[in-house]
Amino acid sequence: MTFDIFTTDWTTARKKIGGWQPEPRASDIFSGNAHSESAIVEGVRVNRLCVRPSVKDKLAKINKSYALCESLKIDWQEQSIESLQLPYSFTWLQATPGRFDFHFDMPAVVRCLGLGERFSDLNLRGNRHTLFATDNPHHNEHADMLYKSIPFLILADGEKYTGIWIDSPSPQRWDLDTEMVEAAKIELFTRRGFYFYLFDAATLPALVAAFTAMTGRAPLPPLWSLGHQQCRWSYPDEETIRHLADQFRKRKIPCDTLVMDIDYMDDYRVFTHSKERFPNFASLAKELAEEHFKLITIVDPGVKKDEKFDIYRQGIKDDLFCKTAKGEVFIETVWPGLSAFPDFLKAETRSWWRDSLKFYLKNGIKGIWNDMNEPAMFNSQRPLPDPFFEMPEDDKQLFLQTSDDDGSIGHFEVRNLYGTLMGLATREALLKERPNERPFVLTRAGSAGIQRHAAVWLGDNTSWYEHLQKSVPMLLNVGLSGVAFAGVDIGGFGGHTTPELLVRWYEVGVFYPFFRNHCALMGRAQEPFSFSPAVEDMVRGLIEQRYKLLPYIQALFWEHSRTGAPLMRPLEWHYPGDSLAAGCDDQFMFGADIMVAPALRANQSSRNVYFPAGNWYEWQSGRKLEGGQRGCTIRVECPLGRLPAFVREGTILPLADIMQSTDEFLETPVTFQAFGSEASGRFFEDDGISHDYQTDKYNEWELVVADGRLVTRAVHNGLDVGKNSRTYRFQTADNVVPAVLATY
C-alpha cells in the first residue's frame, strides 16, 4: 500500500494499517436521542447539544455534571438540531458504541488556546491532545496525557472567539489539524450521554467570563496562600522544619508557608505522623504560627493495605474503596506500598474523607495539598490501553466506581473526576472545621470546574530552562481554561537547579498566582539561601517584590472571582486585533497594567520585548521607555535578579511595603504609585482571611491622578479594616506624599 502524503485520507489509511474496524458509520445517529438548546450566558450565545445514545434498547444516562456550578440558573431555550448554524462546519456522529466523533474545519488563520494543562506553546494547533488524567513526570514535547483534563478549547480567528466544551469526564482525543488538512477532530470515548457546548463570543474576556459563569470562579484565597511557600520532598523531621523557619526569619526572606511532603507520615499511612521524626506534630504548627508561618501537609489518596491500620479497616468495613469487576477491593502500589483507593464518586466516601482530614486540622495544619490523585499507581502509570479506539464496557475497565446518582460505572469513564472530587471533599473539610476561614487546597489532578475547590500546580517539571520557558504558555492556557490560581514548581522539581536558573525562575515566579519553591528528594537543595550570599540577595529581592505586589494581586483575585479573568493573560487579552501580540507567548500580561517579559535562556543578558499600544515604564527603575509605541519591539537588558516587568502608562499600582509574612499585611503601609501624569487605578481591601467579603465587608476605591494630586472615591466601603494602623502614600515620579482615602 502506498500513500501520497498530500492526497491520502489519513483517517482511512490509519484504519487500514492498524486493522481497526469501526462500526459502519450511521448517518444522523444523534437524531431522536439528542436535542439542542441555546441560551445567552453573560452576553455570550451558547448552543448546547444533549446526547443520549441508545444502548441495549434503552437510552444511555448522562452522568451528573461536577463541572457545572450547582447554583447556576440558565434559561435554556429548546431549538431544533437542524436549525443550528454552527461555525467551522461542525458535524458529529457516533462512530462506535463507545466513541463519538466531532469534526470541524480549521482554516489556517485559527489559533487554538485553552484545553487545560498541555505541555505546549500557547497555540495548541498542530498536535493531538489526549485528556486522561495521568501521572506523567516526563514533560517533553512528546508528553501528551498530563494530570488535568479540561476539555474547553478556544478557537481564535482574529474576528471572533469560539469556545468548545465537552462536559464529560470521559477520555477525549483532540486532534487539532494533524490527521487532516485544515481540519480538526475530537474523539470522545464514552458509553454514556454528555453535553457538548459551543460558545460564540466577540472577545476573549467575554468567552472566559461565560465559561467560568458556568464552571465557576475561584473564591478569594486566604491572603497567606499568596505569599511565598517553601516545600521540599521531603523535610525529614521537625527539627529541619524548625531550622528552615528560623533561616527564613534570620535572613529576612519573606515567607508565609512551609510545606510537609510525604515523609511526615508513619510509613506513608495517610492521616498519621511519624512518632520518631515528628513527635510533636500537635504543637509544631502552633509553634510555627508564633513565627507567622502556616503549615501545609500533603495528602495522597492511596490508603495502605494494612489490616492493622484503622483507616484501611474502616474503608473496607464501610465499602468505601474502588472495586474490581469481581467485587474485590482494587489494590495497586503507590508510596505506602500496596494500597486501596477511596471511591470519591460516593458521597459517603467523601464524607468519610472529609471527617478523617480533621486529624490535620485539629493539629493546626492550615492547608492541604492533594497529590497523586489522577490517581497515580506505580504499575498502572498509563492505564489507558493503547491503541484506544473506543470505551470498553464498564467491567473491562481497570476497576469500577459507584456514584450515588448514576450507579456503578467503569473507572475510565470518570477517571478525570477523581482529583476534582478529592478536592471537593478536602475543601469541605476545611470549611466545616473552620467555617469562617477561606480554605486553601492545592491539587495536581483536576477537571473542568476544579477552580471552585482548589489551586493547582502543574506537576513534576524539571530544573531546565525549557521548563521555565514552557511554564508561561502552559499557565496561560490553564488560566484561559478557568483555573486562575496556578503555578509551577519554582526552581524546577526534578534535576538540579543552578544559581542562575533559580534566580531566573523567581523572576517569573513572582507573577505565578501560586508562588512555591519545590524540589525533589534526589535534586540539589534550592531554598533561597542554598547558594552564595549574592544569589540569596537576588532571590530575597525578588520575593520582596512579590510581597510589594500583594495589594495588586489581591485585586486581581477579586477581579477573577467576579469575572473569571485569569491573573496571567496572553497579550491578546488586552490588545485584541494586534497580530504581533497574538503571536507572543514568551511575554504575558499580569492583570491589565503589568507586562512581564522574562529572560528564559541561560547566559541571557538582553532580549527583545514587544510593546503593544501605549507607553511603558520599566518596573524596577520607574523609567519611561523611549519609543514604546504600538507594535514596537525593543531590545531590553535583563540583568540577573531584576524583575522583568513593565508598567502601562496611565496606571496607579497599589504597592505594599516589604513585610516578612502576610500576618503584617493589614498594618503595612500601601503606596499608590502613579505611572504617568494622567493615571487611574483601583484599590481593594478586606481582612484577607474570612468569607466576610461575600457579605459586603470589603472596601474598594477608585483612584485618579488629577493635576498632580491623588483623588480617591470609595466605590464600596463595607469594612473598617486596618483603619487606624495602616497608612497610605501617593507616589509620582518625583514625589511621595501621605494619602487619605475617601469614605463612602
Q: How far is the CB of 198 from ligand GLC (least distance, A)?
A: 35
**Pick 379 or 735: Cβ nearer ligand GLC:** 379
Does residue number 374 form part of the binding site for ligand GLC (CB under 6 A)?
Answer: no
Q: How far is the CB of 314 from ligand GLC (least distance, A)?
A: 24
Alpha-carbon dihedral sign for residues 306, 310, 312, 318: positive
**Pick 475 or 480: Cβ nearer ligand GLC:** 475
Residues 6+ apart with CB under 8 A from 516: 228, 229, 230, 231, 257, 259, 457, 487, 489, 490
Residues 389-448 binding ligand GLC (CB under 6 A) are: 444
- Cα separation, 654 vs 649, whole angstroms: 15
Assign 503 to helix, strand or coil. helix
Has 28 been annotated as catalytic? no
Q: How far is the CB of 547 from ligand GLC (least distance, A)?
A: 24
Catalytic-labelled residue, pool 121, 332, 343, 371? 371
Residues 491-520 binding ligand GLC (CB under 6 A) are: 493, 518
**Pick 114 or 459: Cβ nearer ligand GLC:** 459
- Cα separation, 510 vs 213, whole angstroms: 28
Extract the C-alpha cell encoding 401. 466506581
Does residue number 261 form part of the binding site for ligand GLC (CB under 6 A)?
Answer: yes
Q: How far is the CB of 457 from ligand GLC (least distance, A)?
A: 8
Which residue is at the shortest CB distance from ligand GLC? 233
Q: In the chain, what is the straight-line distance between the N-terminal and C-terminal CA atoms, in Å? A: 78
Question: Per-residue contact track with ligand GLC, 450 to 489, x per CB under 6 A?
Answer: ---------xx-----------------------------
Question: Per-residue contact track with ligand GLC, 218 to 247, x per CB under 6 A?
Answer: ---------------x--------------
Q: Which of 183, 262, 430, 710 binds ligand GLC (CB under 6 A)?
A: 262
**Pick 428 or 460: Cβ nearer ligand GLC:** 460
**Strand ranges (DSSP E) for 106-176?**
111-114, 127-131, 148-149, 152-156, 161-167, 172-176
**Contact (CB, 8 A) for 493 and 602:** no
Does residue number 527 form part of the binding site for ligand GLC (CB under 6 A)?
Answer: no
Q: How far is the CB of 300 from ligand GLC (least distance, A)?
A: 7
**Pick 176 or 502: Cβ nearer ligand GLC:** 502
Q: Please name the amino acid found at residue 519.
A: C
Extract the C-alpha cell encoding 658. 516589604
Q: What is the dihedral of CA 21, 25, 31, 36, to 10 degrees?
A: 80
Question: Per-residue contact track with ligand GLC, 184 to 223, x per CB under 6 A?
Answer: ----------------------------------------
Residue with cell 496606571: 651
**Contact (CB, 8 A) for 484 and 559:** no
Alpha-carbon dihedral sign for residues 40, 41, 47, 50: negative
**Contact (CB, 8 A) for 637 and 656:** no
Residue 490, phi then psi, degrees to nearest 5: -75, 130
What pairs with residue 569 in β-bridges?
589
**Pick 200 or 371: Cβ nearer ligand GLC:** 371
Give the count of residues interacting with ligand GLC (CB under 6 A).
Answer: 10
Catalytic-labelled residue, pool 332, 374, 428, 489? 374
Q: How far is the CB of 231 from ligand GLC (least distance, A)?
A: 7
Residues 6+ apart with CB under 8 A from 339: 302, 303, 304, 305, 331, 332, 333
Q: Which of 238, 332, 371, 500 binds ligand GLC (CB under 6 A)?
A: 371
Q: How far is the CB of 489 from ligand GLC (least distance, A)?
A: 7
Catalytic-labelled residue, pool 135, 167, 390, 460? 460
**Pick 111 or 518: Cβ nearer ligand GLC:** 518
Measuring CA to CA, which residue among 492, 518, 519 is closest to residue 505? 492
**Pick 261 or 593: Cβ nearer ligand GLC:** 261
Assign 498 to helix, strand or coil. coil
**Helical pair 204-215 and 550-563, crossing angle rounded to 10 deg:** 70
**Pick 488 or 581: Cβ nearer ligand GLC:** 488
Q: Per-residue b/e over 249-265, b at no fewer than 16 CB within 10 Å?
A: beeebbbbbbbbbbbbb
Helix or strand holding residue 359 (H, E): helix 358-362
Q: How far is the CB of 136 from ligand GLC (least distance, A)?
A: 10
**Pick 36 or 517: Cβ nearer ligand GLC:** 517
Residues 75-94 binding ligand GLC (CB under 6 A) are: none
3-class secondary structure for 411-427?
HHHHHHHHHHHHHHHHH
Q: How far is the CB of 469 from ligand GLC (least distance, A)?
A: 20
Residue with cell 451558547: 46
Q: How far is the CB of 75 from ligand GLC (least distance, A)?
A: 42
Has 460 been annotated as catalytic? yes
**Pick 135 or 177: Cβ nearer ligand GLC:** 135
Question: Per-residue contact track with ligand GLC, 710 to 739, x per CB under 6 A?
Answer: ------------------------------
**Pick 442 or 703: Cβ nearer ligand GLC:** 442
Q: How far is the CB of 332 from ligand GLC (least distance, A)?
A: 16
Has 105 been annotated as catalytic? no
Q: How far is the CB of 275 from ligand GLC (least distance, A)?
A: 20
**Contact (CB, 8 A) for 220 and 505:** no
- Cα separation, 455 vs 484, whole angstroms: 8
**Contact (CB, 8 A) for 245 and 529:** no
Q: How far is the CB of 364 from ligand GLC (least distance, A)?
A: 21
- Cα separation, 681 vs 551, whole angstroms: 12
DSSP string computed for 165-216: EEE--S-EEEEESSSSTTEEEEEE--SSBEEEEEEEESSHHHHHHHHHHHH-
Helix or strand holding residue 512 (H, E): none
Measuring CA to CA, which residue among 563, 569, 576, 571 is closest to residue 210? 563
Measuring CA to CA, which residue among 222, 82, 104 is closest to residue 162? 104
Question: Per-residue contact track with ligand GLC, 291 to 330, x per CB under 6 A?
Answer: -------x--------------------------------
**Pick 172 or 297: Cβ nearer ligand GLC:** 297
Catalytically active residues, by annotation: 371, 374, 460
Site for ligand GLC, rule CB under 6 A: 233, 261-262, 298, 371, 444, 459-460, 493, 518
